[in-house]
Amino acid sequence: MKKSSLAFLAGAVIVAGYGVWHVTRQAGAPAAAKSGAQGPTTVSVITPRRQDVPVIYQANGTVTPISTVDLHPQTTSTIAKVHIKEGQFVRAGELMFTLDDRSARANVDKAQAQVARDQAALADLQRQYQRSQELLSKNFIAQGAVDTLKSQVDSARALMQADTAAARSAGVDASYTAIRAPMAGRVGAINVYPGSLVQLSTSLTTITQLDPITVAFTLPESALADVLAAQRAGSVPVQVAAGADGPALAGVLSFVDNTVDPVAGVIRVKAQFANADTRLWPGQYVNARLTVRTLKDALVVPQNAIISNTRGTFVYTVAPDQTASTNPVQRLYAFGTDAAVSGLTGEAQVIVEGKQNLRPGGKVKPVASGGRDSASAQAAPVAEKGKAE
C-alpha cells in the first residue's frame, strides 16, 4: 500500500511538470517570434550641399625683411656727428653719420695740386714740341731732337692722367666720411657716438626694410604641384594673421624654393605684403593661409559620414526602397568638419549617424540630421526660404 502511494505521487508530479512546461512554451513562442523580427535602423541623414570650396594650405610662418644692411665705415676715423636717432625711419640717401674728414680733404687738395703741376709741365712740353717742329721744317735741328720732345710730351700726358686718377681716388676716400642710408628703412640700435674711433670692422647700426616685407613658411611636398600651377595661372593670394584673433593681412606669393628638403619633405616659400602701417615686424611668428585654387560647385558632406577601410572610401546612402547602400566616393579636399567629395549626386541622402550598425541592404528609417524625419526635413528648407523672401 505504501509503494503504490509513492508511485501515484511521482506520476502526478511528472504530469504536473509536463503541463507547466507545455503552457510556458506556448506562451513564450509569440514573444520569441516578436523579438526575432528586427525592425528598420533609425539613421541620421543629410543631403550634400553644393558650394565653392577654396583649397587652402595653412602653415606657421616667420616675418622676414626683404633686405637688412649692417652699416660699417669704409675708412678709419672718428665720428664727428650722428645725424639720426635709434628707431628712426630714414630715406634712401639720407645723411646718417659724419666722420672727421680733415685728413681726407688734405689728401684731395694734394692730389689736385699734383694734377695742376702736371698740366703745367705738359703744356710747356707741348709748346717746345711745336717749336721744334718749326725748326725742323727749316733744317735748324735734327729729327732725333724732335722725337725726344714728342716722347717727353707723351710721358707728361700719361703722368697727368695717373695723377688725375689719384685725385679721383682721394675724392672717393673723402666721400667715405659722409655715411648715407643705402635704402629706405628703420634704424636699429646705434653703437657709436661723436668722438668714437671707428674702423672697417666697426658696426655703426643696421637698417631694415619694413615696407614691403615678406613672410617665410614651409608647405608639404604634396602641395608643390598645386602651388606651381597656381603661380602659372597668376598671382597666388596669401593671408597672414598674428595670433588666433589677429587681423588678417593680404599679400601674394613671391618665392618658391628651387629644391624640396629631402629630410623634412617640405618646400620653402615666401609671400610679400605691403607694410606701410608696420603691422608685420621682422622675426614675428604668424599664421599663413595660402589659397591655391577653388573647387567650383563642389559637393560637400560631413567628414564623419565618410568611411575608409580596406574596401576603399565610401558613404552609406538611402536607396529608394529605404535600404542602406554603399556609394564609393573620393575625398577631394577636407576642411574643418566637412569635406568636398566626388562620386555623389546632389539628391543623395547620405547617412551620417547610425551607420555603425548598418549592413548593405539593411532596412533604415531616415531621420534628418537634427532629429526630424526625412519628409519634414525636405519640407523645412522650402518654408525657411519662403520666410526669408
Tell whether 138 and 162 lie within a shared domain: yes
Helices (H) and strands (E) in the chain, counts: 5, 22
Taking 80 as the threshold, does the pLDDT of residue 355 lie above it? Answer: no
pLDDT on residue 217 = 95
Taking 50 as the threshold, does the pLDDT of residue 34 lie above it? Answer: no
Q: What CATH number is attached to the domain comprising 156? A: 1.10.287
Tell whether 86 and 125 lie within a shared domain: no
Tell whether 285 and 302 lie within a shared domain: no
> 159, 174, 189: which is the final residue of a domain?
174
Taking 50 as the threshold, does the pLDDT of residue 27 lie above it? Answer: no
1-12 pLDDT, tens digit each: 444 555 555 555
Domain span at residue 216 reads 56-66+209-294
Tell whether 161 and 195 lie within a shared domain: no
Tell whether 260 and 223 lie within a shared domain: yes
Tell whether 355 and 265 lie within a shared domain: no
- Alpha-carbon torsion 271, 272, 273, 278, what sign? positive
Tell whether 152 and 255 lie within a shared domain: no
Q: What CATH number is attached to the domain comprising 226? A: 2.40.30.170
The residue whose grid cell reads 547620405 is 350
Residue 272: inside a domain: yes
The CB-side HSE value for 181 (13 A sphere, CA atoms) comes to: 24
pLDDT on residue 14 = 61
For residues 12 and 349, give the distance between their C-alpha atoms in angstroms, rounded to a whole number: 64
Tell whether 281 and 301 lie within a shared domain: no
For residues 283 and 215, give the distance between their C-alpha atoms in angstroms, rounded to a whole number: 9
282-315 pLDDT, tens digit each: 999 999 999 888 889 899 999 888 988 888 899 8
pLDDT on residue 12 = 56
> 174, 190, 224: which is the final residue of a domain?
174
Cell of 372: 526630424
Q: What is the mean pLDDT of residues 75-81?
A: 93
> 244, 267, 294: which is the final residue of a domain?
294
Q: What is the mean pLDDT of residues 371-383?
A: 40
Residue 389 binned pLDDT confidence (cut-offs 50, 70, 90): very low
Q: Do the Cβ atoms of 47 and 350 come closer than 8 Å?
A: yes
For residues 343 and 307, give the distance between their C-alpha atoms in angstroms, rounded to a whole number: 14
pLDDT on residue 373 = 46
119-149 pLDDT, tens digit each: 999 999 889 888 888 888 888 888 888 888 8
pLDDT on residue 378 = 40
**Percent share of the chain, pLDDT over 90:** 50
- Between the alpha carbon of residue 53 and those of residues 113, 255, 300, the distances in Å are 77, 25, 9
Residue 234: inside a domain: yes
pLDDT on residue 380 = 36
pLDDT on residue 71 = 94
Tell whether 249 and 366 lie within a shared domain: no
pLDDT on residue 234 = 87
Average pLDDT, the chain: 84
Taking 90 as the threshold, does the pLDDT of residue 347 lie above it? Answer: no
Tell whether 182 and 92 lie within a shared domain: yes
For residues 365 and 359, give the distance between their C-alpha atoms in angstroms, rounded to a whole number: 14
Q: What is the mean pLDDT of residues 196-210?
A: 94
Residue 71: inside a domain: no
102-122 pLDDT, tens digit each: 999 999 999 999 999 999 999
Residue 283: inside a domain: yes
Tell whether 198 and 256 lie within a shared domain: no
Residue 279: inside a domain: yes
Q: What is the mean pLDDT of residues 35-60?
A: 82
pLDDT on residue 366 = 82
Counting the structural domains of the chain, the total is 4
Residue 46: inside a domain: yes
Residue 340: inside a domain: yes
Tell whether 95 and 183 lie within a shared domain: yes
Q: What is the mean pLDDT of residues 14-30?
A: 51
For residues 52 and 203, give the distance between their C-alpha atoms in angstroms, rounded to a whole number: 54
Q: What CATH number is attached to the domain comprising 85? A: 2.40.50.100
DSSP letter at 273 equals E
Taking 80 as the threshold, does the pLDDT of residue 165 lie above it? Answer: yes
Residue 217: inside a domain: yes
Residue 385 binned pLDDT confidence (cut-offs 50, 70, 90): very low
